[in-house]
Amino acid sequence: MNRRTEQAQAPPTETGTETGDIWQTRNEALAALNSSLKPHGDAIREMFALIDTSISDMEKVAEESGSNSRFASVAGLTALKGRNLGLAAYSLALDGLAQEAGAVLRPLIEVLELLRYIRTEPHAIDQALDGKLPTAGGIARKIDGTFHGLRRYLNDNAAHFGFTPDALRHMLDFNAGAKFRIVQSFRAGVPTINLGHVFCFLTLLAFESVNCLAKTEHMPVSAQALLGRIERCRDNGVSLFKPYLELYAEA
8-state DSSP, 133 = P
| 126 inside domain | yes
What is residue 156's predicted lDDT score, i.e. its pLDDT? Answer: 72
| 6 inside domain | no
Contact predicate 25/185, CB 8 Å: yes
- The Cα angle at residue 83 between residues 40 and 229, in degrees rounded to 5: 55
pTM here?
Answer: 0.83
CA 51, CA 22: separation in Å to the nearest integer?
30
Nearest of 187, 192, 207 to residue 41 by alpha carbon: 192
| 55 inside domain | yes
Counting Cα atoms < 13 Å in the Cβ hemisphere of 165 gives 1
Kindly list the averaged pLDDT for each block of 10 residues, start to end, along the chain of length 251.
35 44 90 93 97 95 84 96 97 88 90 97 95 95 90 70 67 70 71 88 97 82 90 96 69 45
Beta bridge partners of 7: none
| 60 inside domain | yes
What is residue 41's predicted lDDT score, i.e. its pLDDT? Answer: 95
| 205 inside domain | yes
**Phi/psi of residue 37, nearest 5 degrees:** -105, 20
| 61 inside domain | yes
CA dihedral 18, 23, 28, 30 (to 10 degrees): 170
| 9 inside domain | no
What is residue 245's predicted lDDT score, i.e. its pLDDT? Answer: 72
| 7 inside domain | no
- Counting the structural domains of the chain, the total is 1
What is residue 102's predicted lDDT score, i.e. its pLDDT? Answer: 83
CA 61, CA 213: separation in Å to the nearest integer?
9
Q: What is the pLDDT of residues 170-214, one digit of tens each?
A: 666 667 677 777 777 777 567 788 899 999 999 999 999 999 999
Print the domain residue range for 241: 24-250
